[in-house]
Structures are given as C-alpha cells and as structure tokens.
C-alpha cells in the first residue's frame, strides 16, 4: 500500500490556491494543514472545531507522516477561526478542483442529471443577532453520487435566489435539472434553458394557473382514446418492509393550444406520477404529483429522473441521521456553511469507496483505521 504522503498529497496541494485570510503574525499553523485535518476529521465523524481538534490530537503520529505541522496540532480556536474566515465559495472551488483532477471530471458535459434542493440547519441560528436558521441550497449529481456545490441563503424563503445562484455556479450545459415545486419559477426555468440545460420540475398550488392547466391537460389526455395522442406510460411495483408501492408514470407532449404556452414557452411536455401504497396493516393511500418538462421523453426516463431526485433528499436524511447536521449550533454563517460543505463532500467520498457497508460503517472504519481513511481519500 502506498504511503499516506503519496495518497494525500493531492488534497494538500489543492488547498495551496486558497487565500489565507489570517494576518501574517497569526499564521502559527499552515492553512493547508488545517484544511487537511478538517477534511479527515469530518470523514471520521467530527461535527465541529472541538471534535476536529480532538481527532487531530489523537492522530498526531499519522498526521506527521504527510503534514508539516510546524507547531503541532492546531487548537480548537484556531480551527474555528480559520473555518469562519475562509470564503465558502473559494473553499468549494478547491474541492471542485480536487474532484476534477482526482475523482471525476465535472464540467465536461458528463453530468447527466443534477438534483437541486434546499435544506435548513434548524439550530444554526442566533436570536440575539436576529439570525434565522441557515438554509443551504445544494446540487447533487445523481448518477455519480457526487456533491457539486452549494449556496447558503438567509432562510427558506430565499431558496429561490439560492437555486438561481447554484445554477450560475454549476455551468453544466446539457444536464437534466430536477427541482421540487418551490423551484417552479419562470426565472429559474429561463435560467436553466438559457444555460443550455433541460428540466423536470414538480408543480403544486404555488403556481395555481400552471397547476390547473397541467392537471387538466393530463386528465383530458387520459379521458381520450390514447391512440390519438402522443403519450408514454411506465408502471413499476416495489415491495419492501411489508408495504407495496405501485407507481404509474405518464408523459404527454404539450399541444400548440396549451393555455399557458406564451407564459411558459420552454415547456414541451407534462407528466404526472401516481403512487398507490398498500401498507402492512392493509390500509391504502394515493399520492399524485404533476411535472413540467423541457423535453418530450419516455415515461421510463421520466421515472428515472423523479427517482433520481430522491437521492438529494436521501442525502439530507443522511446529513441529519449520520452527521447530525440538524443539531449543529454554528450560528456564524461562514462556519456553518463551510462545515455543511465538508459533510456533503464526506458523503461523496464515503459513497465512492467500494466497501459494502453503510455510510456510518465506513465513517467508523475511517475513525478506527487510518489505512482505510487513506483509501477513502485516495479512491478514484
């Protein structure tokens, strides 16, 4: 097995482009050392500066193999001050450069589907400073299992502007962008199309005219003899935990007579997804969702896009259950944002390692075994 230095040198080198925000006289520890320690500690389950420092102290012999550490391990306050001062955008670009060179190219058109969604860090607030809980909008490459970037907003009502900011950061032409109903806004749809992208976006009553027009069109097409219209249907059945989920997906082309064509000119097709659930106790439930599409696609591809979007929601669940993100008390916006990005990047790296185990299991292996930690960091 290669030495830790050869495995982790690329991580350290990509942080060299990061601007050090500290005054010269305050640079007791190298910025690259602090950043590398933070990445490794988060992979091992650390949840903040105190835990990062404790992990570094316990792994000082291993860290000395590939970091300079001229003054030993950085203190908790040093780690905290650095993560508060680092510009979140610059911080993410270092990871993006590392991913492009060592994991997989992100910006060459190979990213097929990108799910964008927001998540609130409910305890990252400060009532004395009148700061609401931090809301983060992030992008996830569904086929690759890869976190592409994120933008922090003041709170959930700002998610629309956060989505627009993420789209500007991504710059991924030809990708299929999936969004929940909050992202169903003309400005966002236009930004996706103008950037060369495509979309599948859920709609609800937040767009009453559009929702009514789409639902009526779907019902009208279903009531007609389907042989007379262009459509596609795909059905699936899943059984798990005593529950049966029967799903039906329907896509049809938007006609020239579509009532809102002038207001929403990029809509080329509409679709709906119905889930019939038979629960373990014998009760039944039904859920119907409607969508707008920039391209006419098969119902099976439509189903893949919808189910692919669930991955970002699953990531949010992992962040709360495995990384306990919802319990974070980091009221400082930059600190909370940078720690949030470190967690998302950790999920990416842990998922890419081929070991058949849960993310929590892999995280524990990282904590107990530095050889496994080196493999996670070096895996391509």
pLDDT tens-digit map of 39-63: 999 999 998 999 999 999 999 999 9
Q: What is the pLDDT of residue 210?
A: 95
CA angle 245, 248, 253 (to 5 degrees): 160
**Count of CA atoms in the C-beta half-sphere (13 A) of 134:** 27
Helix axes 49-58, 76-85, angle to 10 degrees: 130
At 33 the pLDDT is 93
Pure H helices in the chain:
4-14, 31-43, 49-58, 60-63, 76-85, 88-102, 159-170, 186-194, 208-223, 299-321, 333-352, 359-368, 370-378
Which residues does 369 contact at the CB level (< 8 Å), separation at least 6?
none
CATH 3.90.350.10 domain range(s) in the chain: 113-318
- What pLDDT was estimated at residue 363? 94
CB 138 within 8 A of CB 150: yes
Report helix angle 88-102 to 333-352, nearest 10. Answer: 10
Residue 318's pLDDT is 87
Architecture of domain 113-318: Alpha-Beta Complex (3.90)
Q: How confident is the model at residue 245, as a pLDDT?
A: 93
Query: Distance (Å, rounded) from C-alpha 111 to C-alpha 277?
Result: 33
In the chain, which residues have pLDDT < 50? 1-4, 6, 106-107, 109, 125
Query: What is the model's pLDDT at position 80?
Result: 95
């Amino acid at each position: 097995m290669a030495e830790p230095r050869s495995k982790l040198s690329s991580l350290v080198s990509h942080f060299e482009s990061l601007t050090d925000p500290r005054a010269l006289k305050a640079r007791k520890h190298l910025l690259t050392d602090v950043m590398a320690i933070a990445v490794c500690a988060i992979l091992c389950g650390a949840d903040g500066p105190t835990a990062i420092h404790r992990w570094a102290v316990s792994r000082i012999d291993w860290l000395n193999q590939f970091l300079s550490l001229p003054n030993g391990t950085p203190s908790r306050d040093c780690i905290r001050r650095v993560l508060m001062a680092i510009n979140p955008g610059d911080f993410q670009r270092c990871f993006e450069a590392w991913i492009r060179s060592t994991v997989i190219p992100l910006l060459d058109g190979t990213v097929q589907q990108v799910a964008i969604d927001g998540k609130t860090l409910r305890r990252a607030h400060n009532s004395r400073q009148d700061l609401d809980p931090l809301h983060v909008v992030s992008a996830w490459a569904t086929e690759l299992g890869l976190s592409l970037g994120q933008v922090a907003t003041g709170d959930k009502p700002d998610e629309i502007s956060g989505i627009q900011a993420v789209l500007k950061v991504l710059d991924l032409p030809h990708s299929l962008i999936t969004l929940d109903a909050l992202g169903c806004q003309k400005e966002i749809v236009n930004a996706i199309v103008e950037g060369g992208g495509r979309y599948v976006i859920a709609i609800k009553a937040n767009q009453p005219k559009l929702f009514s027009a789409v639902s009526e069109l779907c019902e009208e097409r279903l009531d007609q003899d389907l042989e007379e219209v262009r459509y596609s249907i795909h059905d699936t059945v899943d059984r798990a935990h005593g529950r049966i989920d029967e799903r039906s997906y329907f896509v049809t082309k938007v006609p020239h007579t579509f009532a809102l064509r002038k207001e929403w000119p990029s809509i080329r097709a509409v679709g709906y997804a119905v889930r019939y659930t038979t629960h373990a106790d014998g009760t039944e439930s039904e859920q119907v969702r409607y969508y707008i599409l920039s391209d006419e696609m098969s119902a099976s591809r439509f189903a893949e896009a919808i189910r692919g979007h669930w991955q970002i929601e699953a990531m949010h669940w992992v962040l709360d259950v495995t990384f306990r993100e919802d319990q974070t008390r980091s009221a400082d916006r930059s600190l909370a944002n940078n720690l949030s990005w470190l967690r998302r990047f950790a999920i990416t790296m842990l998922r890419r390692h081929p070991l058949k185990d849960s993310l929590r299991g892999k995280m524990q292996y990282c904590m107990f075994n530095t050889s496994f930690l080196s493999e996670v960091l070096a895996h391509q």
